[in-house]
Amino acid sequence: MHTPRFNFPLFLTWLRIVAIPAFVAVLYFPEEWLTERQANVTSMWIFIAAAVTDWLDGWLARRWNQTTSFGAFLDPVADKLMVAAALIVLTEKGLVDPFASLIIIGREITISALREWMAHIGQSRSVAVNILGKVKTVGQLVAIPFLLYNGVLFGLFHTNPVGRILVWIAAIITLWSMVVYLKAAMAPPPSLQGQASGKPRKTL
């Protein structure tokens, strides 16, 4: 009887989800356990490690031929949960603008619901991930570590103002990508576009 191989990429995805409570808890440890600076740096490295495994699990899944439908579903869920947790904590601590966090989290909820609906009607390819979606993800993954560090980096600059600017850039790209997805979802299906333009349909 064949024994299925252990799916290490999927394990890494689960590990990212399990790390979220630890990531949040570190930022609220008593000063007797961790100083504020230690908590900021520790949480930053947890977030960076999660971002690295986000890339690593996809690469390993493709390389080892361990891609699964469940893994394809869980991977973006893990990313969105980590980003949302980070933004909520940063907002509560006054380290990021609440409206920027609201835009990013609201967009993720909206697009997730949109993708589920489009899959239900058999049009999931209309809202497949595009370059804007990837750019906004990179923007968030760069901005959030700066905000978590919240200190002077290499004696050159304080990371919070830079992080705030970067997260607003990410929020703007997030809104832009949401508009693109919504326009794609509202466009008529390819089978109807010929009719809408007056072109005759091919018949068998």
pLDDT tens digits in sequence order for the chain, 204 residues long: 445 578 888 999 999 999 999 999 999 998 888 888 999 999 999 999 998 988 888 888 888 888 888 888 888 888 889 999 999 999 999 999 999 999 999 888 887 777 777 666 665 565 556 677 677 788 888 899 999 998 888 888 899 999 999 999 989 988 887 787 777 767 665 554 555 445 554 434
Residue 74: per-residue pLDDT:
86
Q: What is the dihedral of CA 146, 148, 152, 154, to 10 degrees?
A: -60
Residue 203: per-residue pLDDT:
37
The 8-class DSSP code of residue 5 comes to P
> Which helix (H) or strand (E) segment is 203 a member of?
none
Cα 69 from chain centroid (whole Å): 18
Task: Count Cβ atoms within 10 A of the Cβ of residue 101 and give its class: 0-12 exposed, 13-18 middle, 19 or more buried.
Answer: buried
Residue 102, amino acid: L
Residue 35 φ/ψ, nearest 5 degrees: -70, 165
Residue 75: per-residue pLDDT:
86
For 94, the token pair is 């006054």
Domains and CATH numbers, the chain: 8-187 (1.20.120.1760)
Residue 116, amino acid: E
Give, in degrees to the nearest 5, the angle at Cα 127 between 125 and 131.
105
| Residue of 136, 128, 138, 141 lying closest to 72 (CA atoms) | 128
Residue 204: per-residue pLDDT:
40
How far apart CA 181 and CA 170 sit, in angstroms, is 16
Residue 71: per-residue pLDDT:
83
For 6, the token pair is 């252990």
Residue 201: per-residue pLDDT:
47
